[in-house]
C-alpha cells in the first residue's frame, strides 16, 4: 500500500457517500473517513520502518505532468492530521439536521481528498490542481449550509473565493515560468534550478501571495473572520483545522527550496509581518462579542506565530511550526465544536447572552476549560511543545521578535480566560433555557481531541523523531547558499 490508496479511499468514499442517500450519508462518511485514517496510519508505519510509500506514474506527455505522490516525514504528519480530523469533523455534525445531507458529507470527504492530494503531490501542476480543488467544496459548504443572512453569507464566501483564487493564479504563473526552465514540474527538478536572485525574488513573492492569503497573514486576512462565522461548524473546522495548514506546509515544500536566496534576503520583513499578525489578531480577539469571531482572530494570532517559525529557516522553527500546526488543528476544532454545542443549546453566538453553563453542565465546562488552557499553551499540553520551539527559534533569529511573538501567550491567556469566565461562569442568562450537559457523541469528540492534546503534550517524541530527519534534509537544501 502506498500514499495513493489514501486518495482512492477518500474519493471513492465521497462518491459512495453521495449515492447512499441522505439517510445513511453521515454513517458512510464516518466509515470511509475512518478507513482513510487507518490507511494513513499503516502507510506512516511502513515509512517509519524504512519502506518507500511513494507512487509515480506518467500522466500527460505535453506538458510533462506526472502522477507523483510522496510520503515522507514532512507530508505524512499533515496527511495524518487531515485523516484524523476528518472523522472527528464528521462526528461533530451528527447533532445537526442538514438539507441535502448526502451532498454535505460527500463534500467533506472530497475536500479531505483534495487536501491530502495537496500534501503528497510531488509534481507542481498536480499540486496546484489539488490546491484549487480544495477550494470548491468549502465554497459550497459555507454558501449552502452556512448561517446568518443569506446575502451577507454570499458576500463573505465570494470574497473568500476571489481572494484565494486570485492569489493562487500568481503561484500558477510561477510554476509556468519554472516549467519553461526545466520542461517538467517535478519538485526535485524545480528546487535544483539555477535561478538568479531576481528570478528567485519574483518566484518567492508569487508563492507568498497564494500562501499569505490562505494562512492568512496580515494584510491578506480580511476574508477570514466573516467566513469562519458564517460557515457551518464543519466548514469552519475544515478551514481552521486543516486547510490553512496547506499553505504553511507548502512554504517548506515548495517556496523555500525553490527560492532560498529570496527567503534569506527578505526573512526579517516576512517574519515581521507574521509577528504583526500575532499582535493584531490578539487585539481584535480582545474586542469581539461573538464567540466564533473571537476564536477566528485567536486562530489568526496563532497561525501568524507558526508562519514566523517557518520563515526563521531553522530546525527548531520549522519543526516547532509543524508540531504547532498539528496541535492547533486539534485544539481549534475542539474550540469551534464547543461553540457549536452552545449554539445548539441556546441558538446564539453572542458572549453577552451566555453565562452560568458550568453549574448546569459541569462535564462540558471542564472539557472546555482543558481546550482553553491548551490553546494558551499551558505546559503539559501539545500546544506548548510547538510554541516553545517556535519562540526559541525566533530568539535565535532576533531576541526582540521572540519577545513580541511571546505576547501571544500573554494576550491569549487574557482573552481566552476572560471568555471562559463570561461564557461558563457567573449567573445564567435569564432569557435562556436549561443547558443540558454533553451527550455521548459530543463527549466522544471532546475526549478524542483532549486525549491527543494531553498525550503528545507529555510525550511528543514519536512525532518529533518522525519529522526531524526530513526537515533537516529540507533545510540543507534551503540553506545551501549560506
pLDDT > 90: percent of the chain: 64
User: Which residues make beta-bridge pairs with 65?
Assistant: 60
List, for residues 429-478, the tens digit of each pLDDT value: 666 677 888 888 899 999 999 999 999 999 999 999 999 999 999 998 78
Residue 295 and residue 340: Cα distance in Å, rounded?
12
Quickly state the pLDDT bin for 93 (edges 50, 70, 90).
confident
Quickly state the pLDDT bin for 228 (edges 50, 70, 90).
confident
Quickly state the pLDDT bin for 152 (edges 50, 70, 90).
confident
List, for residues 163-206, the tens digit of each pLDDT value: 898 889 999 999 999 999 988 899 989 998 888 999 999 999 99
Of the ranges 146-160, 257-271, 449-463, which one carries the lowest mean pLDDT score? Answer: 146-160
Kindly report the three-state secondary structure assignment for every residue of 293-325. Answer: HHHHHHHHHHHHHHHHHHHCCCHHHHHHHHHHH
Q: How far is residue 307 from each of residues 249, 381, 383, measured CA to CA in Å?
A: 10, 20, 15
Give the pLDDT confidence score for residue 347 in this predicted structure. 82
Residue 51 and residue 39: Cα distance in Å, rounded?
15
Residue 230: name the closest of 162, 138, 301, 142 by CA. Answer: 142
Give the pLDDT confidence score for residue 407 in this predicted structure. 78
List, for residues 266-322, the tens digit of each pLDDT value: 999 999 999 998 898 889 898 888 898 999 999 888 899 999 999 999 999 999 999
Q: Exposed/middle/buried for 414, CB within 10 Å: 0-12, 13-18, 19+?
A: middle
Q: Is 58 helix (H, G, I), strand (E, B) or coil?
A: strand
Cell output for 10? 477518500
Q: Is 150 helix (H, G, I), strand (E, B) or coil?
A: helix
Of the ranges 136-150, 232-246, 427-441, which one carries the lowest mean pLDDT score? Answer: 427-441
Give the pLDDT confidence score for residue 122 in this predicted structure. 95
Give the pLDDT confidence score for residue 480 in this predicted structure. 64
Q: Given a cut of 60, is residue 256 above it in pLDDT? A: yes
Give the pLDDT confidence score for residue 441 in this predicted structure. 87
Quickly state the pLDDT bin for 39 (edges 50, 70, 90).
very high
Give the pLDDT confidence score for residue 207 in this predicted structure. 96
Q: How far from the centroid of its chain's Cα atoms is residue 154's Cα?
A: 23
Give the pLDDT confidence score for residue 202 in this predicted structure. 95
Give the pLDDT confidence score for residue 51 in this predicted structure. 92
Quickly state the pLDDT bin for 481 (edges 50, 70, 90).
low
Contact between residue 415 and residue 349 where contact means Cβ atoms under 8 Å apart: no
Give the pLDDT confidence score for residue 277 in this predicted structure. 87
Q: Given a cut of 60, is residue 69 above it in pLDDT? A: yes
Give the pLDDT confidence score for residue 110 in this predicted structure. 97
Give the pLDDT confidence score for residue 238 in this predicted structure. 93
pLDDT > 70: percent of the chain: 98
Q: Given a cut of 90, is residue 120 above it in pLDDT? A: yes
Kindly report the average pLDDT of the chain as a whole number: 91
Amino acid at each position: 500500500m502506498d500514499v495513493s490508496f489514501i486518495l482512492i479511499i477518500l474519493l471513492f468514499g465521497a462518491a459512495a457517500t453521495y449515492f447512499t442517500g441522505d439517510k445513511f450519508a453521515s454513517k458512510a462518511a464516518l466509515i470511509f473517513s475512518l478507513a482513510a485514517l487507518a490507511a494513513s496510519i499503516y502507510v506512516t508505519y511502513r515509512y517509519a520502518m524504512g519502506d518507500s510509500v511513494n507512487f509515480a506514474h506518467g500522466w500527460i506527455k505535453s506538458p510533462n505532468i506526472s502522477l507523483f505522490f510522496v510520503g515522507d516525514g514532512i507530508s505524512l504528519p499533515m496527511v495524518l492530521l487531515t485523516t484524523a480530523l476528518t472523522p472527528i469533523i464528521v462526528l461533530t455534525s451528527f447533532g445537526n439536521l442538514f438539507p441535502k445531507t448526502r451532498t454535505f458529507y460527500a463534500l467533506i470527504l472530497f475536500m479531505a481528498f483534495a487536501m491530502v492530494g495537496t500534501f503528497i503531490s510531488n509534481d507542481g501542476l498536480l499540486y496546484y490542481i489539488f490546491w484549487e480543488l480544495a477550494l470548491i467544496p468549502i465554497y459550497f459548504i459555507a454558501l449552502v449550509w452556512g448561517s446568518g443572512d443569506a446575502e451577507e453569507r454570499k458576500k463573505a464566501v465570494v470574497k473568500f473565493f476571489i481572494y484565494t483564487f486570485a492569489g493562487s493564479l500568481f503561484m500558477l504563473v510561477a510554476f509556468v515560468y519554472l516549467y519553461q526552465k526545466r520542461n517538467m514540474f517535478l519538485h526535485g527538478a524545480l528546487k535544483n534550478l539555477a535561478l538568479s536572485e531576481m528570478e528567485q525574488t519574483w518566484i518567492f513573492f508569487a508563492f507568498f501571495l497564494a500562501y499569505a492569503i490562505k494562512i492568512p497573514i496580515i494584510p491578506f486576512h480580511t476574508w477570514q473572520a466573516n467566513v469562519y462565522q458564517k460557515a457551518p461548524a464543519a466548514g469552519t473546522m475544515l478551514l481552521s483545522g486543516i486547510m490553512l495548514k496547506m499553505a504553511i506546509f507548502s512554504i517548506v515544500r515548495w517556496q523555500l527550496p525553490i527560492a532560498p536566496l529570496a527567503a534569506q534576503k527578505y526573512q526579517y520583513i516576512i517574519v515581521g509581518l507574521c509577528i504583526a499578525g500575532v499582535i493584531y489578531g490578539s487585539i481584535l480577539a480582545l474586542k469581539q462579542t461573538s464567540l466564533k469571531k473571537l476564536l477566528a482572530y485567536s486562530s489568526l494570532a496563532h497561525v501568524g506565530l507558526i508562519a514566523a517559525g517557518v520563515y526563521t529557516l531553522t530546525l527548531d522553527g520549522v519543526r516547532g511550526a509543524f508540531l504547532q500546526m498539528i496541535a492547533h488543528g486539534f485544539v481549534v476544532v475542539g474550540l469551534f465544536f464547543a461553540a457549536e454545542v452552545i449554539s445548539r443549546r441556546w441558538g446564539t453566538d453572542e458572549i453577552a447572552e451566555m453565562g452560568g453553563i458550568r453549574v448546569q453542565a459541569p462535564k462540558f465546562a471542564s472539557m472546555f476549560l482543558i481546550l482553553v488552557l491548551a490553546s494558551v499553551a499551558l505546559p503539559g499540553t501539545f500546544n506548548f511543545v510547538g510554541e516553545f520551539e517556535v519562540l526559541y527559534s525566533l530568539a535565535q533569529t532576533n531576541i526582540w521578535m521572540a519577545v513580541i511573538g511571546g505576547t501571544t501567550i500573554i494576550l491569549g491567556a487574557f482573552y481566552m480566560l476572560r471568555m471562559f469566565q463570561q461564557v461558563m461562569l457567573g449567573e445564567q442568562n435569564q432569557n435562556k433555557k436549561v443547558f443540558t450537559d454533553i451527550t455521548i457523541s459530543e463527549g466522544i469528540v471532546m475526549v478524542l481531541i483532549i486525549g491527543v492534546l494531553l498525550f503528545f503534550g507529555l510525550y511528543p517524541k514519536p512525532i518529533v523523531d518522525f519529522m526531524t530527519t526530513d526537515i533537516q534534509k529540507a533545510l540543507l537544501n534551503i540553506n545551501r547558499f549560506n
